[in-house]
Amino acid sequence: MKMSKTLVAYFSASGTTARVAQSLAETTGADLYEIAPKVPYASADLNWNDRNSRSSKEMNDRASRPELANHNAQIDEHDTIFIGFPVWWYTAPRIIDSFLDAYDFAGKKIALFATSGGSGLGQTASELMRTHKGVTIVDGRLLNGRPSASQLKSWAESI
């Protein structure tokens, strides 16, 4: 089976980012890969109002790297990789750092996409490139709501 040269890899805590990732993959003919934590997040883990919740502790520790459920993303088979996630504390969740640490992205074109209840991508791309040497991020976009197939295709083709 011939694989697409494009991969849509995503982390979704509540399903919102998953829906956008699936639409992007369908629209572009890309392969789809879920970035999943070894220990799934429970509702209490995601309570950003509780500074002792799992997500709060992870986001307050820049060195935090939640363990991935698996390491079978076929990065080598793809030239362009879209990485999607919900915005947590104005940046990417630490599991995105775990994903970027787990593979060699040298020579890959990476574009970020995110869903958010109120904030944008901010400095996420530059932060990730600073933290993960050899990773180049070419573009990023907030994809809230239900972007149309034509909007997704137009953006993907601009990468």
Mean per-residue pLDDT over the chain, rounded: 93
Q: For 1-11, how does the pLDDT look when each residue is reduced to its tens digit (9 = 90+)?
A: 445 699 999 99
Domain that holds residue 30: 6-158
Tokens at 103, concatenated: 């593979």
Find the CATH number of the domain harbouring 25. 3.40.50.360
Q: Spell out, as residue ranges, where the chain has pLDDT lower than 70.
A: 1-4
- Is beta strand 80-86 parallel, antiparallel or unpaired with respect to 137-142? unpaired
Is 1 within a domain? no
Classify 92 as helix, strand or coil.
coil
Q: Is 143 within 8 Å of 109 (Cβ atoms)? A: no
pLDDT at 1: 41
Number of separate domains in the chain = 1
Domain assignment of residue 44, yes or no: yes
Does residue 28 lie within any of the structural domains?
Answer: yes
Amino acid, single-letter form, for residue 134: G
* Per-residue model confidence (pLDDT) at position 54: 95
